[in-house]
Chain A
Amino acid sequence: MRLKDLYRTDIYDERRGPSFSPLILFVVTLSYIVTVVSFGRYETFRLFPLASYPIFIGSFTRVSFRDLFRKMLPVLPFIIFIGILNPFFDTARTEYLGIVISKGWISFFSLILKFMLIVPASLIMVAATGFDGLCRTAASVGLPDVLVTQLFLLHRYIRLLVEETHNIVRARVFRGGKITVANAGNVCGPLLLRCISRSERIHSALECRGFDGQLYHSSALSKRVPAGELIFALCWIVFFTVVRMLDISRIIGDMIVGCVI
C-alpha cells in the first residue's frame, strides 16, 4: 500500500447523508457479523444472500465501493495466507454443484467470502456514522468516558502521526533523499519528537477550551431512536435470522430447477 493511500483516512471522517443513528447501524452491523460468523466453514453458498446487506447499506449511505475495495485490498493477502493451507490439510473430497472438490478449498473460499462480507460492512458502518459517531454511540450505551475519550484521541492522533510522517517523507524525497533501513532512525526520531510536540499543542488547545478529560457530555448524547430507523433495524435482523434458519440459496435453486423441469 502506498503512503498516499494510507493517508486517505477521510472516508471515515465525513458523515454522509442520509444519516443513520450510529447506535442503530452498530446494532445491525453487529447482528450481521454474528450471523456471518455463525455459518460453518463448508456452508459457502448459504452466505451469498447476506451480500445484500453491505450492498444495500453502502449504496444507501453513499459510501464509495471503490474506496472500500482500496481499504480491503491490503488486508486480503493476510486472509489468503491464513486460509491457503486449508486445501493441503483438509483433503477430504465432496461433490459441489456436480464438481468433485476437496473440502479444504470450500473452507478457503468460505473464509474469503466471510472476509468480503464482514470487512466492508464494518467499514461502511464507520464511514456512514463517522468515527465520532461510533464513539458517541459507545458513550451513550454506557462505555466508560475514559475509554471512549481514549478511543477518539487515538483515532485523532493516528491522523496526526500520518500527517507528520507524510510531511517528513515528502520533505526528504523532494530534496532527493531516500529513506532506507540505515537512515530510518534519522526519520523516526524527529517524527516522534514532532508528534509529541504537536500532541502537546493540541492538548493545550483542548484544555484552553475547558477540556477536563471528558469528551462526550451526557447533554450531547441522544438516546432517542426514530421509529423509521427502528423498523429498518428490525427488518434487517429478521432477514439475518431467516437466512440463518433457512437455506435461502437452496430454496431459490430448487425453485428455479422446479420451474425449468
Chain B
Amino acid sequence: MCNLKVFEIENICYSYPDGTKALKEISFSVNEGEILGIAGANGSGKSTLLMLMMGCLSPLGGNIVYEGDKLCKEKLRGMRRETGLLFQDPDDQLFLPTVWEDVAFGPRNLGLNEEEVSSRVKGALSDAGIEALADKAPWKLSGGEKTLAALAGLFAMRPKTLLLDEPTSGLDPKSRRELINVIAGTKITAVIATHDLDMVMDLCHRVIIMKNGTIVSDGEVPGVLTNRKFMESCGLEIPLSLTNRFS
C-alpha cells in the first residue's frame, strides 16, 4: 500500500429525484493498494456512493478526483477502463448469452484483438475459479456463481481498482469464503460496500462507517469495529468473529 491517492472524494452531496438526501458532504480518499471497507445500515448511502464514484450518477455538489484529475465526462471513459464496479445484483451485470461471452464483453470494448480477449477471459475465469461455467447461460447459475462470473467480467478488464457493492450478500458460507479468497488474491485497490463485517475484518485495511448519508467514522478496522456502542448506534453489530472476545 502506498500514499498515492486513487480516488479523492471531496464534499460529495447527492439527493434522489424524490428529494431523499442520500449523501451529505462526504469526503474521504482511497490510497493505491488499499482495501477500504464501507459499512453502514440499509439506506446509509453505500451503494449510491459507489455509483457516484463510477460515474453512474452525477453528484449534486462536490468533486470526485481520480488519480489527480477531477472526474468529468471526458475523463469518465478512461477511469472506467481502469475501475471495475461489481453491482449489488449480479443479474444486472450478466448480460450476454454465455459466461464466456459476458466475460469477453469488457476486453472487446477495450478494442483488444480476439487472441488477447481469449487469453484474458481464460485468465479471468481461472482467477475466479469458474472455468467450468464458461459455456453456461448466466441466468442458469446459482447466486454465488453469478457473483463470481460478474467478478470475472471485471478481472478480464485488468482493473487497477475494484468497487464491490455487497459482494457477499445472499451467498452461502462456502461461496462467501471462495469470494473472499478471490478478492484477497487480486492484490489490487478495492472499495467494498458491505454489511458483512467479518469480511471487512478479513480483507480491509481501513473502514468507513456511514450513517444517514454521512461518514461517522473512518479508521483502522479493529479500532472502529470493536466499539460496540458506536457500532450499535450506527445500526450495526461488532463482527461475529469478535463477539466472543468482547462480550
Contact = CB atoms under 8 A, between A and B. Distances in A.
B80 A208 contact: yes
A205 B95 contact: yes
B109 A205 contact: no
Interface in B159-194: none
Nearest to A202: B92
8 contacts: A132-B96, A207-B56, A210-B109, A211-B105, A211-B109, A212-B109, A217-B108, A220-B108
Q: Mostly helix, strand, loop or mixed at chain A's interface?
A: helix
Interface stretch (B22-30, B111-119, B212-220): B111-119
A219 B113 CA distance: 6
Contacts of A209: 80, 84, 105-106, 109, 153-154, 157
A223 to B, nearest CB: 13
Given A210-B106, A217-B111, A132 B92 contact: no
A206 interface: yes
Interface in A60-90: none
A205 B77 contact: no
A105 interface: no
A231 B109 CA distance: 35
The range of chain A's interface size is 20 to 34
Contacts of B114: 219-220
A131 interface: yes
A156 B95 CA distance: 8
Contacts of A131: 97
A229 interface: no
B109 A220 contact: no
B3 to A, nearest CB: 27
A207 B92 contact: no
A202 B54 contact: no
A202 B81 contact: no
Given A132-B101, A209-B157, A220 B92 contact: no
A133 to B, nearest CB: 8
B31 interface: no
A68 to B, nearest CB: 19
A219 B105 CA distance: 12
Contacts of A204: 51, 54, 56, 87, 92
Nearest to A221: B114
B221 interface: no
B111 A206 contact: no
Contacts of A206: 95, 105
Interface in A169-183: none
